[in-house]
Amino acid sequence: MHLGLFLLGTGSHVAGWRYPGAVDSFQDMAALRRIAETAERGRFDMIFMGDNLYADPAAHPSYTLRLEPLTMLSALAASTTHIGLGATVATTYSDPFTVARAFASLDHISGGRAAWNAVTGASPAAAPNFGKLHPNHAERYAIAREFLQVVKGLWDCWADDAVVADRATGLYIDPARVRALDHEGPHFKVKGPVNIGRSPQGQPVVLQAGGSEPGHALAAATADVVFSVVQDFDEARAQYSSLKARLPALGRRPEDVTVLPGVMPVVGRTDREAYEKLAVLQGFVDGDNARQLLSDRFGVDMSGYDLDGPIPDIPLPDTYHSFASVMLNKAKREGMTLRDIYNLTAAARGHWVLCGSAERVADTLEQWFTNGAADGFNVMPPWFHEGFDDFVDLVVPLLQKRGLFRQEYAGTTLRENLGLPRPQRG
C-alpha cells in the first residue's frame, strides 16, 4: 500500500483551521516542517501539494493563500531524507523549459524525490493573472499532452554520464552525450537541451489527478501516480479497473501506474470519539462558506438555488468536469439535496470522508486495497497537527502490523519507494 499526504493550507476540511489547537500552515514553514517530519515518521511515500493560480479573498483561504509549491517543497527537501515531494504546476500557465528544469533541480536537491503533479488548471480565474484567455477543456488537454511530451524529452537530453569533469584533460561535459530536443508542435517550440544534468530518478515521477475522460486518457498514457476523486467503493473500483484496463494498449503494465483515491480520515480511539471530532468540524460550517466553495467547484454562481429542493439541472461550463460531476452523480444517485452536497463539500471539498476508530479506518482501507479499488491512498487530513497525527500514530501501525504497509523505506528515491523502475533514457 502506498500513502500520499495531501498538504493543503490548514487541512482539507473547509473549517479545519478553526479546530481547537489547529495550526495555521498556509505560510508557516515551522508548521510545514513538522508536518513533513510526521509524514516521514509515518513512512508516507510522498507529500503532495496542490496549487491554484488566483486569489479570491472572499472565497475560502484554501483557494487563495499558499506558499508556492516548488519553493516550499525545495525547502522541505532539506529537512527530510526519504519522503517524496510532489508539486503541482499547471501546464496552461507555465512553459515546458521552466518546468523541466525546476523539477530536475528539485530531483537533484532532494536526492531523487521529486514528483510533478501536472494539471491543466480548471479555473478560468487564473487567466487574467497571465493576460490570457482560458483555453477550453479539450484545448487544455491538448496543450497538457504536448507539454508533458516536451518536459519528458528535456529530462532525457543529458545522458547519465554526460558530466565527465575530467581534471586531467579539462573536459567537463562530453558534448556527445548531450543532445538537443528540437521539438516543434502545435503549441510549443523548444530547442533544448535543458541546462541541468539528468536527475537522480532519471525522470521525476509524474502525478495526475484529472477526472474527465481526456484526463483519464492522459493519465493512462503519461502518469506514474494517479490521484482520484471518489465517494464510495464501487465507484473507486470501477475507476481503478477502467484506468488499469487502458494500460496494455499503451504498452504499459498495470503496476506502472499507482492509483491513490483521496480520503479525508477522521480518526478517533473509538468510533464515538471520531464522530465527535467530525461534529466539531461540521459545527463550523455555515451555508455561506460552503456555498462559496460549491460555486468555485462548479464554476457557476450557486447563490440563487433552493438549498432544500431536489438537485436542479446545473449548466456546468465545459471548463469544469471531475469534481462537479462526481458530486452531482452521487447526489442524484442518493436523492440528496443541495444542502447535503454543501455539507459533503464542506467536509472534504468533494473527497471521500472516512470517519471512525483507527480499527475501522484501517479495515476500510484494507478492504479497498485488497479488493481492487486502490493501490493506496492520498490522505487528506482535516486539520493539522492532531488530525494528521491521529492517522500516523493510530492507523499506520495497524496497517504495518497487518503487513499492508512498509515499516521502513525500501530506498531513498521516490521511484524506489513506489516500486517504479528508473526510466532508461529514451
Question: Which residues belong to the annotated binding site for FMN?
Answer: 51, 88, 137, 141, 212
**Closest to 245 in 3D by CA, of 219, 263, 227:** 219
The answer to the question of residue 71 lying near its own copies (CB under 8 A) is: yes
The answer to the question of residue 155 lying near its own copies (CB under 8 A) is: no
> Least separation, in Å, of the C-beta of 29 and its own copies?
5
Q: Which of 121, 197, 204, 265 binds its own copies (CB under 8 A)?
A: 197
Output the DSSP codes for 286-337: -HHHHHHHHHHHHTS--TTS-SSSBPP-----TT--HHHHHHHHHHHHTT-B
Question: Which grid coordinates are listed for 142?
Answer: 491538448
Q: Which of 174, 271, 363, 366 binds its own copies (CB under 8 A)?
A: 174
Q: Which of 4, 11, 153, 193 binds its own copies (CB under 8 A)?
A: 193
- Residues 120, 62: Cα–Cα separation, whole Å: 18
The answer to the question of residue 307 lying near its own copies (CB under 8 A) is: no
> Least separation, in Å, of the C-beta of 359 and its own copies?
32
Q: Which is nearer to its own copies, 72 or 274 (CB)?
A: 72
Q: Which is nearer to its own copies, 131 or 335 (CB)?
A: 131
The DSSP symbol for 391 reads: I
Q: Which of 74, 91, 345, 378 binds its own copies (CB under 8 A)?
A: 74
Q: Which is nearer to its own copies, 192 or 211 (CB)?
A: 192
* Distance (Å) of CA 246 to CA 113, 190, 216, 257: 27, 30, 9, 11
Q: How would you classify the pairing of strands 183-184 and 189-190?
A: antiparallel
- Residues 283, 205: Cα–Cα separation, whole Å: 39
Q: Which of 1, 7, 67, 374 binds its own copies (CB under 8 A)?
A: 67
What residues contact residue 83 under an 8 Å CB cut-off, 6+ apart? 36, 39, 40, 44, 45, 46, 47, 113
The answer to the question of residue 425 lying near its own copies (CB under 8 A) is: no
Which stretch, 69-77, 134-142, 206-214, 405-413, contacts its own copies (CB under 8 A)? 69-77
Q: Which of 8, 46, 148, 196 binds its own copies (CB under 8 A)?
A: 196
The answer to the question of residue 186 lying near its own copies (CB under 8 A) is: no
Site string for its own copies, 76-95 (x = CB under 8 A): xxxx-------------xxx
Question: Which grid coordinates are listed for 39?
Answer: 509524514
Is the separation of the CB atoms in 91 and 183 below 8 Å? no
Q: Which of 170, 251, 403, 426 binds its own copies (CB under 8 A)?
A: 170
Burial label, 398 (beta-carbon count in 10 A; 0-12, 13-18, 19+): middle
* Phi, psi angle pair for 324, to nearest 5°: -60, -45
- Residues 224, 382: Cα–Cα separation, whole Å: 26
Q: Which is nearer to its own copies, 2 or 60 (CB)?
A: 60
Is the separation of the CB atoms in 292 and 59 below 8 Å? yes
> Least separation, in Å, of the C-beta of 192 and its own copies?
7
The DSSP symbol for 415 reads: H
The answer to the question of residue 130 lying near its own copies (CB under 8 A) is: yes
> Least separation, in Å, of the C-beta of 339 and its own copies?
18
**Closest to 389 in 3D by CA, of 26, 44, 27:** 44
> Least separation, in Å, of the C-beta of 75 and its own copies?
5
Is the separation of the CB atoms in 118 and 147 below 8 Å? yes
Q: Which of 81, 129, 136, 270 binds its own copies (CB under 8 A)?
A: 129
> Least separation, in Å, of the C-beta of 63 and its own copies?
8
User: Which residues 5-44 are close enough to bind its own copies by CB under 8 A?
Assistant: 15, 17-18, 24, 26-27, 29, 33
The answer to the question of residue 65 lying near its own copies (CB under 8 A) is: yes
Residue type, 190: V
The answer to the question of residue 342 lying near its own copies (CB under 8 A) is: no
The answer to the question of residue 49 lying near its own copies (CB under 8 A) is: no
* Phi, psi angle pair for 18, to nearest 5°: -90, -5
- Residues 6, 69: Cα–Cα separation, whole Å: 12
The answer to the question of residue 284 lying near its own copies (CB under 8 A) is: yes
The answer to the question of residue 365 lying near its own copies (CB under 8 A) is: no
Task: Detail the residues annotated as belonging to a binding site.
Answer: 51, 88, 137, 141, 212
The answer to the question of residue 161 lying near its own copies (CB under 8 A) is: no
Q: Which of 81, 98, 242, 371 binds its own copies (CB under 8 A)?
A: 98
Is the separation of the CB atoms in 43 and 408 below 8 Å? yes
